[in-house]
Chain A
Amino acid sequence: MRRIASKLSTSDPDFRLNDVHYRKVVAELKARQFAARSERPQRDLDRLQQQGKMLPRERVEMLLDPGTPFLELSTLAANMDYDGESPGASAITGIGIVAGREVAIHADDSSVKGGAWYPLTIKKIVRLLDIAIENRLPVVHLCDSAGGFLQQQSDLFADRHMAGRIFRNQCQLSKMGVHQLALVFGHCTAGGAYVPALSDYSVIVRGIGAVFLGGPPLVKAATGEEVGFEELGGADMHTSVSGTCDYAADTEEEAIAIGREIVAQWRRQPRWNCQRDSIEAPYYDPQELYGVIPHNSKAIFDMREVIARMVDGSRFHEYQPDYGTALVCGYANLWGWKVGIVANNGVLFSDSSLKAAHFIELCNQNETPLVFLQNITGYMVGRDYERKGITKDGAKMIMAQSCSRVPKFTVMCNASFGAGNYGMCGRAFDARMLFGWPTYQIATMGGDQAVNTLLEVKMRQMRRNGEPLDKEILARIRDETRGAYEHQLSAYFATSRIWDDGLLDPVDTRNALGMAITASMNAPLGEPGYGVFRL
């Protein structure tokens, strides 16, 4: 494969301006991530210390193999919800290496309201278990949660993807032969009790860990029986009498050591036999991505410059370089894995949609994982384009993408608007992992377009009703719509609701994708075949 020849000069004033701008963006991202990970009210930290408990992150650190990377997911979940009261949505999730095996990790964050589950906490845990199912990754649960946050019970209990889904997914994992281990560091009450009960293995810590359907206060209220928590559901009772848990440990450290030993017994998943070459660092420094991304989010940029700073040796075999040029397609290696890249270089037209559909089919034929780099403001609109079938050509791209049997990965690099989000493997299309850069914007359409569309509709309605055009009403619609859009467009809003698996410093994209692709190799390819392409 040939090396991409960058057309950018790092001494160009625009490059320097972009670089300065993006470094500020990344500094803000890191500050927000640090706060979500580590900043807690002193009283919460004191309470954990009084209970003799480790911080949830210290547990994760102790569980992981030394010197191995941890791909943390959705660090900024809930950052714009619940008035910021649930940093990281009160849970830590991610993929890491334990006893030489890739595992998915779910840790309740007991440093926030006793680890109580908010609606977004549940969404985050369910997403991690979905990742475990899709990639056949064993799971380690670090349990320390007060249970569902009762003030929000109507948003976390009854629906298909709410709390029950955690336990449903646990059962499915076990049925698929994917192991799960629960380490019980706190009280697992009511629904939470099923996390260890449905895990294939469980370890419980004496004195702090407990598992029961109803805690002592509820038992007293229900039947009048007075019983202490150790007796009701403590470590020794469960490991020697009820058999609900398997191993008792005296300390958290011991529980983690036993847990690591258990994981070390698990057979490794056979890996799907994907092509792998020797690994090569990118020829162009990924740090230069800061200068590549324009400080004006509307300005177009050449996605080849991004690919050059992400893939092995900056080498890229471009497919159809002179056809449908608003889309860049081609093969590259990423941490040695062969991938097919689909990247936007502008609006999607009929030709670029057809090129995408064809290239996606090639990757499926060739069993090559797909990486989508989104900077898409939409499919082209207008009379000429509709007459040429832009809608049905876009449908072909969506059909090919949606029915792909190879693993897919998506990075939201800049814009993700309208149906372009669908064609380019947005959240609804089951990318194994979907990451975003901190400046990405996502919505059905751009703010200006939404304002003008709504104004147009309102003016027509006024004319139809024979009313005079009320400038005040129109101005209010404009301001309200624009305000709502600006707020909702941002990456922080999107990641708060877990529309992605987390925001990345662009420099880390290569590493995050490398881990995601490696993890995906644990699962076999999907079923081949497509639906009906509208030709």
Chain B
Amino acid sequence: MPTVMHMDGQEHQLEIVARRPELVLRVDGALHIVRPITRGFQLNLIEVDGRQVRFHAASEGAVVHVRCDGRSHRVAIHDPRDARGMVRAAGDEIVAEMPGTLVAIVKAQGEEVVAGDVVVTIESMKLLMNLSAPRAGRIARIAVELNQTFDKGAILVMLEPAVET
């Protein structure tokens, strides 16, 4: 899975092909061999495809500023794992994972929601919990009345069936 690297506004694909015996990177399809150079304490000196590269790097939050060959670059790495969404299947219902009481209805029957919108609030074990829509759609029915208790596994909210497009 390649990592996405943003450098000076340009997007690059970065992939580690091998770590041993030496570091091999694929950058935008081209392979490069990277070796450290141990010379005293000069840690900011590496060899890229046989060429010595001296660099300085300073990080500022998520962004790293790199200076080499007399130019400065702004680099940001995006971990592909961060973009991965929740793996749960998005169903048509919000089901109670524990017994409790319905204390607020945020989105009423007939309203449009997008995935993650808070639809109802429940109280259980002294905690208020917001339950959100599993996917985009329209609320078909709120199945429990306000201030009514429900058991574990009860269906609280139903969405209108998804329309095939």
Using CB atoms and an 8 Å cutoff, list the residues of chain A in contact with chain B: 2-3, 5, 283, 296, 298-300, 322, 346-347, 377-378, 380-382, 384, 415, 417, 446, 448-449
Report yes or no: A296 in contact with B128, Cβ–Cβ below 8 A: yes
Report yes or no: A322 in contact with B129, Cβ–Cβ below 8 A: no
Contact of B164 with A by CB under 8 A:
no
Report yes or no: A448 in contact with B128, Cβ–Cβ below 8 A: no
Q: A298-B127, A300-B127, A378-B125 are in contact. List 12 more A-B contacts (CB 8 A).
A: A283-B61, A296-B128, A298-B126, A298-B128, A299-B128, A346-B127, A347-B124, A347-B127, A380-B125, A382-B99, A415-B126, A448-B126
Partner of B127 from the list A5, A377, A384, A448 (CB cut-off 8 Å) is: A377
Q: Which residues of A contact B126 (CB under 8 A)?
A: 298, 377-378, 415, 417, 446, 448-449
Give Cα A3 to B64, complex, Å.
Answer: 14
**Smallest CB separation, A379 vs chain B (Å):** 9
Give Cα A381 to B125, complex, Å.
Answer: 8
Contact of B81 with A by CB under 8 A:
yes
Give Cα A417 to B125, complex, Å.
Answer: 10
Minimum CB distance partner of A298 in chain B: B128
Q: Which residues of A contact B127 (CB under 8 A)?
A: 298-300, 346-347, 377
Give Cα A322 to B129, complex, Å.
Answer: 19
Give Cα A5 to B84, complex, Å.
Answer: 12
Using CB atoms and an 8 Å cutoff, list the residues of chain B in contact with chain A: 61-62, 79, 81-82, 87, 98-99, 123-130, 152
Q: Is the interface of A mostly helix, strand, loop or mixed?
A: loop
**Smallest CB separation, A268 vs chain B (Å):** 28
Report yes or no: A5 in contact with B125, Cβ–Cβ below 8 A: no
Q: Which residues of A contact B79 (CB under 8 A)?
A: 2
Give Cα A3 to B99, complex, Å.
Answer: 34
Q: Which residues of A contact B99 (CB under 8 A)?
A: 382
**Smallest CB separation, B16 vs chain A (Å):** 16
Q: Which residues of B contact A346 (CB under 8 A)?
A: 127, 129
Report yes or no: B125 in contact with A298, Cβ–Cβ below 8 A: no
A-B CB contact pairs (8 Å), 20 listed: A2-B81, A3-B62, A283-B61, A283-B62, A296-B128, A299-B128, A300-B128, A322-B87, A346-B129, A347-B98, A347-B125, A377-B125, A377-B126, A377-B127, A378-B126, A380-B98, A382-B99, A384-B152, A448-B126, A449-B126
Q: Which residues of A contact B123 (CB under 8 A)?
A: 298
Partner of B129 from the list A300, A381, A448 (CB cut-off 8 Å) is: A300
Q: Which residues of B contact A5 (CB under 8 A)?
A: 82
Q: Which residues of B contact A299 (CB under 8 A)?
A: 127-128
Give Cα A378 to B128, complex, Å.
Answer: 14
Q: Which residues of A contact B130 (CB under 8 A)?
A: 300
B127, B129, B152 pick with most chain A CB within 10 angstroms: B127
Give Cα A446 to B125, complex, Å.
Answer: 9
**Smallest CB separation, B124 vs chain A (Å):** 7
Closest 8 CB pairs of A and B: A377-B126, A446-B126, A347-B125, A299-B128, A298-B128, A377-B125, A300-B127, A300-B129
Give Cα A449 to B128, complex, Å.
Answer: 15
Give Cα A300 to B123, complex, Å.
Answer: 10
Report yes or no: B61 in contact with A2, Cβ–Cβ below 8 A: no
Give Cα A3 to B62, complex, Å.
Answer: 9
Give Cα A177 to B146, complex, Å.
Answer: 65
Minimum CB distance partner of A280 in chain B: B59
Give Cα A149 to B99, complex, Å.
Answer: 52
Partner of A2 from the list B82, B124, B152 (CB cut-off 8 Å) is: B82
Q: Which residues of A contact B124 (CB under 8 A)?
A: 347
Give Cα A468 to B128, complex, Å.
Answer: 36
Give Cα A5 to B124, complex, Å.
Answer: 28
Give Cα A343 to B129, complex, Å.
Answer: 17
**Smallest CB separation, A352 vs chain B (Å):** 12
Give Cα A5 to B62, complex, Å.
Answer: 11
**Smallest CB separation, A437 vs chain B (Å):** 17
Give Cα A283 to B61, complex, Å.
Answer: 6
**Smallest CB separation, A292 vs chain B (Å):** 15
Give Cα A417 to B79, complex, Å.
Answer: 38
Minimum CB distance partner of B79 in chain A: A2
**Smallest CB separation, A413 vs chain B (Å):** 14
Q: Which residues of A contact B87 (CB under 8 A)?
A: 322
**Smallest CB separation, A211 vs chain B (Å):** 53
**Smallest CB separation, A374 vs chain B (Å):** 14
Give Cα A18 to B124, complex, Å.
Answer: 22
Q: Which residues of B contact A446 (CB under 8 A)?
A: 126
Give Cα A378 to B124, complex, Å.
Answer: 11
Give Cα A347 to B79, complex, Å.
Answer: 31
Q: Which residues of B contact A417 (CB under 8 A)?
A: 126
Minimum CB distance partner of B121 in chain A: A299
Q: Which residues of B contact A3 (CB under 8 A)?
A: 62
Give Cα A322 to B99, complex, Å.
Answer: 21
